[in-house]
Amino acid sequence: MSSLRQLIKAGIIKLLSDGKACKARDLVDLLKIELGRKDVEKSEVNSVLYRDLLGTVECDSTFNWRLRSGVLEPGPTLQYDAKEEQDFSIRSGLIRTVARLRSGLPPCENLEHLTVGQERISPQLKRVLQLQSHAPHAWAIALGDYGAGKTHTLTLFHEIALSEGYAVCQLSSDGFNNALNHPQRFLPSLFATLEIPFRRTYGYTDLLHDVLSDFNLTSKLRELVSTHLEGLSTIVFESHSGLDRICTNLAAGTNHSDEWRESVRTVTSHLTGDSIRHQTGSPKHRSMAYQLLCIARDLVVALGMKGLAIAIDETESVYTKLRTYGSRLGAVRVLSALCNLAHCRVVFAITPDAYSQLTADLPGMLYDSPLRLPVEDIAQWSSAITSRSVPVLDCQPLGKKDRKCLLERIANIYPQLYGDGFSTPQFRDVWAEYVLDSPKSPVSTRILVRQAVDLMDSFRYKNGC
C-alpha cells in the first residue's frame, strides 16, 4: 500500500471514530484538512473504503460511511479490533460454502482454496483482472467439454474479481431470452446478477434505488446518462426528465413522495433495460443496450470499483441453439462488443467443438455489414483469438489424485464450521475408507462432493457434533 493510501486509511478511521456517519465526498474534504494534503482524490478515498477497510467500515443505503460496531478506538492512538465481526463474517462464508457443496454446486466463497488440479487458472484470471483499465484484449476463454469445470472456472473468476475490487455480473446464454445475438433481451438478466464487493444490495435495481436516494449520486448518474444515452427516443426523454424530477425532489427533501417513487420506477425500468427487452435486435436497439451497459459500468467505477467483470456461460449455444448463420453472426458481433468494452473484464465458457466451429467461421464474418455497429469490432476480436493474445483456460476433468485432494480440502473446511468432533478415530476410519474408494467411483466430481458432505452430515447428526 502506498504511503498516501496508508495515511488516508488511518485518517478515515480517525474521522469516523466519533460514531458519526459521513459520505465519501465529505471525507475527501475532511482528509485534506486532517492530512494537510491537496492530492487526496475521491477515487482514492473510495478505493480505500471499498478495499483496504473491508470489514472495518460499512455504509448504509444512501452511502453514509461509519465504523462497524466491532471497531473500537481504545486510546489516544489509532487502534481497532474487528475480530468479532471478522469471525462472524468467516462463519457466514463457511455456512454458504458448505450449503453450496451440499448441493453439488461450486461455492461462491473459499473457491480458490478448494480449486484443485487447475491451480494454474487462478494466476491467469488475476492477470486479466490486473490489466490496465484501457488495455486491449482484457478477456479470456474457458475451454472445456461438458463437466470439465467451465462453470467452476467462471465462479472462480467471480470470486477473484470481487476480491480485486470489480463489480461482477454473469449470464448463462441460451437461444431464447438470453440469446447472445439479442443484447436488449439479456441485459436485464445480466444486470439482475450484479454484485458489488462490500455491499449488501444485490442486483442493479437495488443499486439504482440506493443511488437515486442521494442527490449527489443522482447528479452523477444524470451526467452519465447525458454522456452515453443518445437519440430522440421516448426512453432517452423519460430518463432525462425522470432524473431531473428526482433531483428536484431530493433537493427539496421530498424523496419519498409519490412523484419521486414514480420517477424512480420509470428511470429504473429504462436504465436496467427492462423497457427494451421485447424489442427487435436491430442496430438501434443493440446500440441502446450498449449505452445502458456503459452507464452501469461508469456508475460502478464512480462508486469506487475498478470496473465491471462479466462471466458468460454456455457460449456454445451460439451453435447448439441459434439455427441460422445470421443469428450466429449477430451473436459474434455482440460477444466482440462485450469483450472490447473499456473498464470491462470478460471470461466466456465454450466447448471445444463450438470453439473450433467459431474459429472456422470467423474469416467469413470479418466483412463489413450495414447491420454492424462500430463497437462490434469483430476484426479486432478475431485477431486476438488467432494471434493467441488472450488466455485460453484449458478446463479438464479431475484425475484420481485431484479428486482425492479435493475431498481432503473439503474435510478441512467442514470441521471449521461444525467443530472438531470429526477428529475421532471412528470418523477417521469411515472417511479414510470413503477417500480410498473415491478414485474408483464412476460418478461425476459434483456427485462425489455431494456424497462427501452427506457422509459428514450423517456422522454429525448421529453423533451430535
Q: Quick: pLDDT tens for 222-235.
A: 999 999 988 778 88
Name which of 152, 77, 142, 69 is nearest 110 in CA terms.
Answer: 152
What's the helix, strand, coil split of the chain in %, to 5? 60, 10, 35
Which amino acid, 51? R
Predicted pLDDT of residue 84: 42
Whether residue 373 has pLDDT greater than 80: yes
Share of the chain above pLDDT 70, in %: 89
Share of the chain above pLDDT 90, in %: 27
Indicate the burial class of 2 (C-beta count within 10 angstroms; 0-12, 13-18, 19 or more).
exposed
Mean pLDDT to the nearest integer, 30-40? 81
Span 258-296, pLDDT tens digits: 888 899 999 999 999 999 888 888 888 899 999 999 999
Top-confidence residue, 251 or 112? 251
How far is residue 102's CA from residue 410's CA, in Å, rounded to a whole number? 11
Predicted pLDDT of residue 338: 93
Contact 46/304 with Cβ under 8 angstroms? yes
Whether residue 365 has pLDDT greater than 50: yes
Predicted pLDDT of residue 202: 78
Span 387-424, pLDDT tens digits: 888 889 888 777 777 788 888 888 888 887 777 667 77
pLDDT classification of 449: cutoffs 50, 70, 90: confident
Let me know the angle formed at the C-alpha of 49 by 47 and 50, rounded to the nearest 5 degrees: 65
Top-confidence residue, 298 or 41? 298
Residues 6+ apart with CB under 8 A from 188: 272, 273, 274, 277
Mean pLDDT to the nearest integer, 81-106? 68
* DSSP code at position 50: I
Whether residue 4 has pLDDT greater than 90: no
Whether residue 357 has pLDDT greater than 60: yes
Whether residue 360 has pLDDT greater than 60: yes
Least-confidence region, from 51-65, 85-99, 264-278 = 85-99
pTM above 0.95, yes or no: no
How far is residue 113's CA from residue 156's CA, in Å, rounded to a whole number? 10
pLDDT classification of 128: cutoffs 50, 70, 90: confident
Class of domain 3-68: mainly alpha
Predicted pLDDT of residue 117: 66
Mean pLDDT to the nearest integer, 318-328? 90
Q: Crossing angle of helices 234-252/215-228, nearest 10°? A: 160
Predicted pLDDT of residue 133: 64
Contact 52/21 with Cβ under 8 angstroms? no
Predicted pLDDT of residue 415: 81
CB atoms within 10 A of CB 43: 12
Predicted pLDDT of residue 279: 85
What are the contacts of 438-445 at 24+ separation with CB within 8 A? 438/403, 438/404, 438/407, 439/400, 439/401, 439/403, 439/404, 444/147, 445/147, 445/149, 445/397, 445/398, 445/403, 445/406
Q: Hunting for cell 426528465 — which residue is that?
A: 241
Mean pLDDT to the nearest integer, 130-135? 72
The mean predicted confidence, pLDDT, of the chain is 82
Look at residue 52 and give its three-state secondary structure.
Answer: helix
Predicted pLDDT of residue 274: 92
How far is residue 28's CA from residue 24's CA, in Å, rounded to a whole number? 6
Predicted pLDDT of residue 342: 84
- CA-based diameter of the chain, in Å? 74
Mean pLDDT to the nearest integer, 367-378? 82
Predicted pLDDT of residue 428: 80
Mean pLDDT to the nearest integer, 109-127? 77
- What is the grid cell recorded at 167? 463489480
Whether residue 336 has pLDDT greater than 80: yes
Predicted pLDDT of residue 438: 75
Least-confidence region, from 81-95, 127-141, 322-336, 433-447 = 81-95
Predicted pLDDT of residue 58: 80
Top-confidence residue, 51 or 346? 346
Mean pLDDT to the nearest integer, 5-10? 82
pLDDT classification of 85: cutoffs 50, 70, 90: very low
Predicted pLDDT of residue 189: 93
163: number of CA atoms within 13 Å, CB side?
A: 14
CB atoms within 10 A of CB 321: 16
Span 135-176, pLDDT tens digits: 667 899 999 888 778 888 898 899 889 888 899 999 998 877
Whether residue 213 has pLDDT greater than 80: yes
